[in-house]
Structure 1
């Protein structure tokens, strides 16, 4: 019988974890499958870890991990994937906006021969800017990985154990899970799921986090910045030759050429410097575990 691991990245989710746990256990027991629930505390500022410890004490099917510092949702989820033992792995947010009751539908869809299935939401309850950022990331994935436009991504997903094992090998800083998925498989599908309103707290995503994810996607998983740099080099060279050959022309043309040339050179240097920083960052792991308390062996 296929087993299921549920991975929950946790950040300031103390108010919702107990209800989420109860609903997950209820639906997974109805499915009559071996399962585990892995909660990864991404350096929460509230008492989330204490709640996790209480759940672990009550039910040994709950595994808990505490990270050294805040690495972000994607890194925390990857940490949970790395420790998972199920034949299928489900990732779900801690804020109750994702319906645990949709897990049977996700399971049914992935057994049709897919490696990954993303839940998409009919009526998103995120903010306008969060939805805008999500649309931008999906468009970028379309360009970089030739992702079918009909397929959309979310953090509520189910993966095969085979795909999860491949993704576990990524142990570098700056993680973007959807990129890892599309990099390693094209067997991806969607199902529609109802999206709930957030009951506790507020979204941990802001402009900075969304910008950081976009930057990670462009620089770590695509050649677009390199192509852009090459184009700028060509533009800079052409402008340099134009100024040099036509130095007898009036000063206004020379000034205009320099106005175009200087930003091109600065942009090139910025992109090259950023790539150097990215290369240095790859020396660091995606996350560091402070403590871990989980069962071992096969799921029962």
Structure 2
């Protein structure tokens, strides 16, 4: 099969007929073998009933329904597990992503040999309450991930080699950072394509303040797990040793100062009256705790079922 189109959706009943017929028209024009996987993330507006009706007239459609709303990341992860196409395309169900972009995305994966091609909506029709947080996230993600050639990590329109989506896991709100997850998994040939962004035709946006907060926390999480997931002692141990050494140096300084005053019969204040004493005490205790945290995390990591789960590109 050439292409799997994975479409996560939540309360998008009005857009589904137009979206599926549009995808079918593009696929037929280019003679692609394909499947469209519609993942209903607990919709309450009749989206699932619409999927069932559409499937009766289109054998290329497949539907997956969640019992409740789990979020876009969960829907994508389940869709990735079900996808069988050599190239996997993801797009949103609100008609803001154009299926006409699919042929070029497919070409870049198959001919230019990209692992992942992410869409960039250079001209957007979203309100500033959505575009401003997106710009902040993109700037922070570029800086922390080292993927400097992507302008929009969160664009729903993306294309993947099949090997990519079968070797990554998307959870929480991590769908924003799939290019980062792919890079940590060893898929480093990541490209970008300017795509059309269409104004929302039906319904209303699902973007809210909680997604802004959760997205930032997930960015920190993915950065830490990707960099130190298999060697947590390198992070906690380093911070602990530095803190412990700083506290020890301050303590030695306090003792040396006290001995100097004693040797010269000079008056000196009590050690407990010196603010540096408490700074040294906190630094030593914190350093010890960080080191022990790293030690425990290292034990957990070494006993994890996927401690030796590494991505192998090819065996001959």
Q: Which residue of 2 aligns with 1:114?
A: 114
- Equivalents in 2 of 1:106, 1:256: separation in Å? 57
- Equivalents in 2 of 1:186, 1:67: separation in Å? 32
Deviation at 1:175, TM superposition (A): 5.3
- Secondary structure, in 3 states, of the residue corresponding to 1:244? helix
What TM-score results when the alignment is normalised by the length of structure 1?
0.76
Q: Which residue of 2 aligns with 1:160?
A: 161
- Secondary structure, in 3 states, of the residue corresponding to 1:222? helix
1:191 to 190, 193, 199: 193
- Secondary structure, in 3 states, of the residue corresponding to 2:167? helix
Number of residue pairs matched by the alignment: 271
Cα separation, partners in 2 of 1:3 and 1:118, compared to 1, 3 Å: same
Matches within 5 A, 1:212-251: 212-223=217-228, 227-245=234-252, 246-247=254-255, 248=258, 251=274
Q: Is contact 2:251–2:280 with CA below 8 Å preserved after alignment?
A: no
- Equivalents in 2 of 1:38, 1:52: separation in Å? 10
Q: Is contact 1:219–1:275 with CA below 8 Å preserved after alignment?
A: no
Q: Is contact 1:163–1:184 with CA below 8 Å preserved after alignment?
A: no
Gaps of 5+ in 1: 284-300
Q: Is contact 1:6–1:38 with CA below 8 Å preserved after alignment?
A: yes
Q: Deviation digits for residues 120-165 of structure 1, max 9, x if unmatched?
A: 12123342113322332233221xxxx3x22453331111223333
Q: Deviation digits for residues 63-94 of structure 1, max 9, x if unmatched?
A: 00012443332231121121112121101112
Cα separation, partners in 2 of 1:197 and 1:135, compared to 1, 3 Å: farther
Q: Which residue of 1 aligns with 2:143?
A: 139
- Secondary structure, in 3 states, of the residue corresponding to 1:189? strand
Q: Is contact 2:38–2:63 with CA below 8 Å preserved after alignment?
A: yes
- Secondary structure, in 3 states, of the residue corresponding to 1:184? coil
- Equivalents in 2 of 1:74, 1:103: separation in Å? 21
Q: Deviation digits for residues 170-226 of structure 1, max 9, x if unmatched?
A: 498785532332223222211111222333311345223313421431243222875
Q: Which residue of 2 aligns with 1:29?
A: 28
Cα separation, partners in 2 of 1:122 and 1:68, compared to 1, 3 Å: same
Matches within 5 A, 1:52-201: 52-110=51-109, 111-124=111-124, 125=126, 126-142=130-146, 147=147, 149-152=148-151, 153=153, 154-167=155-168, 170=169, 177-182=178-183, 183-199=185-201, 200-201=203-204
Mean Cα deviation higher: 50-59 or 223-232: 223-232
- Give the RMSD, CA atoms, in angstroms: 3.4
- Equivalents in 2 of 1:123, 1:227: separation in Å? 42
Structure ID, larger Rg: 2
Q: Is contact 1:114–1:187 with CA below 8 Å preserved after alignment?
A: yes
Structure showing greater relative contact order (alpha-carbon pairs closer than 8 Å, 6 or more residues apart): 1
